């Protein structure tokens, strides 16, 4: 159906290029236009209500109407609406926020650099590491390792770290300089050998990583390893037991830095303040964004340890400046909102809340969907989870991508008042606002169950799935 000529949808089709959208098909289908939000729910321009099962993009941690964050932004706008952090300039919100992050870090950190998105933060971290190694007389130590199905952003360098095909095809990514190395995905369900335990699978992945490091020049050429504690856009992939302990032992052996990408996992999502704490990671560099400000304003941060900072300090002394930064690095209004966000997390004991409500969500996901005829695997931790659709449960066989099982479930979800997101292998992610209640989790999953059952009926009628 073509939208009315002067409708929001028609105006959007005429003027907006949407990220992560089939731009050609969109000219016919148009957008879902959202006009307001309240708590864990959003409302479209027709007044229809939806539960946001992904908190937007894994990010609206405090829901969609937190008045304290609105007030924090308003007050800072009146006091100092903008100032930069170039050439040794500063302001109180940036100083306070940096101090708060250092205090809360999962390992000993030295300094904080601010950007505006997770992509910018990962790109910045990469530049820091290359800069450090040049400054410290290690010009060949530049190769960086990430995992297949990892997501680290969409700047050209961050997309090169990312391990998802859609972020590479037609973009000439990864950058063809031989510095971006991708290793195995830690997904036991699909990647383990028959009869291989989680611990044995983790051992094999660590051994494969070490072999690849050796093949790529060892400690002389290999600089860092990037990892999300739980892989987000790759399908909510929870690492197998002992995986990160074994990986960190390999990195230490070859003098490589561990960069923890906490853009999705940070600030309570996994049931600990940091995903690094949930999985016993001691990062040298930590990247965060999204829930840092509950995404009310764009802001990201890169925390670095003393080793990385000293490399930057030495290099900037030689060059005369550290030639990196963004106009809005540490923007005072975004920083003020982030400060208030962290205060709310502390005052409301958000980690304890997530541990309790997350346990409920994980139990309900498994109880409702593990035996569903078109669900292959249910996985997750804390308030992040996924159900993976399967055409053949016994064979762990995904649906033919051309059948668009995942996108169809998303559309059915919209009809039933729940916003979902389809990811790799038709995995449907769950990452609701951290403030969600047990009752709201139940309501969310009721709507998902109704949508999933409707999809199963459709697929059976089309002889796509034996349901």
Q: Is the pLDDT of residue 164 over 90?
A: yes
Q: What are phi and psi of 331, to 5 degrees?
A: -45, 130
Helix (H, G, I), strand (E, B) or coil at 335: helix
Q: What is the DSSP letter of 327?
A: T
Do residues 301 and 389 both lie within one domain?
A: no
Do residues 282 and 358 both lie within one domain?
A: no
Rounded CA gap, 149 and 464, in Å?
Answer: 26
Tell me the pLDDT of the chain averaged across its residues: 97
CATH code of residue 262: 3.40.640.10
Q: Is the pLDDT of residue 130 over 60?
A: yes
Count CB neighbours of 149 within 10 A.
26
Q: What are phi and psi of 176, to 5 degrees?
A: -85, 65
Q: What pLDDT does residue 463 have? A: 74
Do residues 353 and 336 both lie within one domain?
A: no
What are the counts of helices (DSSP H) followed by strands (DSSP E) for the chain? Answer: 16, 15
Rounded CA gap, 131 and 121, in Å?
Answer: 15
Residue 100 forms part of a structural domain: yes
Q: Is the pLDDT of residue 466 over 60?
A: no
Do residues 38 and 174 both lie within one domain?
A: no
Do residues 266 and 384 both lie within one domain?
A: no
In which domain, by residue range, is 116 found? Answer: 68-347
15-42 pLDDT per residue, tens: 999 999 999 999 999 999 999 999 999 9
Q: How confident is the model at residue 464 (pLDDT cuts 50, 70, 90)?
A: low
Count of domains observed in the chain:
2
Residue 25 forms part of a structural domain: no
Do residues 47 and 80 both lie within one domain?
A: no
Rounded CA gap, 11 and 401, in Å?
Answer: 31
Q: How confident is the model at residue 393 (pLDDT cuts 50, 70, 90)?
A: very high
Domain boundary among 322, 347, 372: 347
């Amino acid at each position: 159906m073509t939208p009315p000529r002067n409708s929001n949808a028609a105006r959007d089709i005429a003027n907006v290029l949407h990220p992560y959208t089939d731009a050609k098909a969109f000219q016919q289908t148009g957008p879902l236009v959202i006009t307001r939000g309240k708590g864990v729910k959003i409302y479209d321009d027709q007044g229809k209500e939806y539960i946001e099962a992904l908190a937007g993009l894994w990010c609206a941690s405090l829901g969609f109407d937190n008045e304290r964050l609105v007030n924090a932004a308003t007050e800072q706008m009146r006091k100092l609406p903008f100032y930069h952090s170039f050439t040794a300039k500063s302001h109180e919100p940036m100083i306070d926020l940096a101090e708060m992050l250092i205090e809360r870090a999962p390992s000993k950190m030295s300094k904080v650099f601010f950007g505006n998105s997770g992509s910018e933060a990962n790109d910045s971290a990469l530049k820091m590491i290359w800069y450090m190694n040049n400054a410290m007389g290690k010009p060949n130590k530049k190769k960086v390792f990430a995992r297949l199905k990892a997501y680290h952003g969409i700047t050209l360098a961050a997309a090169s770290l990312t391990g998802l095909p859609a972020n590479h095809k037609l973009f000439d990514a990864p950058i063809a300089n031989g510095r971006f190395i991708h290793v195995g995905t830690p997904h036991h369900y699909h990647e383990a050998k028959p009869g291989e335990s989680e611990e044995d699978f983790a051992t094999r992945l660590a051994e494969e990583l070490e072999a690849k490091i050796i093949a790529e020049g060892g400690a002389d050429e290999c600089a860092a390893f990037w990892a999300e504690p739980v892989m987000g856009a790759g399908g909510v992939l929870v690492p197998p037991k002992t995986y990160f302990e074994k990986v960190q032992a390999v990195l230490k052996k070859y003098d490589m830095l561990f960069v923890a990408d906490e853009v999705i996992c940070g600030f309570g999502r996994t049931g600990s303040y940091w995903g690094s704490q949930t999985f016993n990671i001691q990062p040298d560099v930590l990247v965060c964004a999204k829930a840092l400000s509950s995404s009310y304003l764009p802001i990201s941060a890169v925390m670095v340890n003393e080793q990385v900072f000293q490399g930057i300090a030495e290099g900037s002394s030689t060059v005369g400046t550290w030639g990196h930064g963004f106009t809005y690095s540490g923007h005072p209004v975004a920083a003020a909102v982030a400060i208030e966000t962290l205060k709310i997390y502390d005052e409301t004991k958000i980690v304890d809340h997530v541990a309790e409500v997350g346990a409920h969500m994980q139990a309900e996901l498994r109880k409702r969907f593990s035996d569903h005829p078109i669900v292959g695997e249910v996985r997750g931790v804390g308030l992040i989870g996924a159900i993976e659709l399967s055409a053949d449960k016994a064979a762990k066989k995904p649906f033919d991508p051309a059948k668009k099982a995942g996108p169809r479930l998303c559309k059915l979800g919209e009809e039933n008042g729940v916003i979902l997101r389809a990811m790799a292998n038709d995995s449907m992610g769950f990452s609701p606002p951290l403030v969600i209640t047990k009752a709201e989790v139940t309501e969310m999953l009721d709507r998902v169950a109704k949508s999933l059952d409707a999809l199963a009926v459709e697929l059976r009628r089309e002889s796509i799935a034996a349901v």
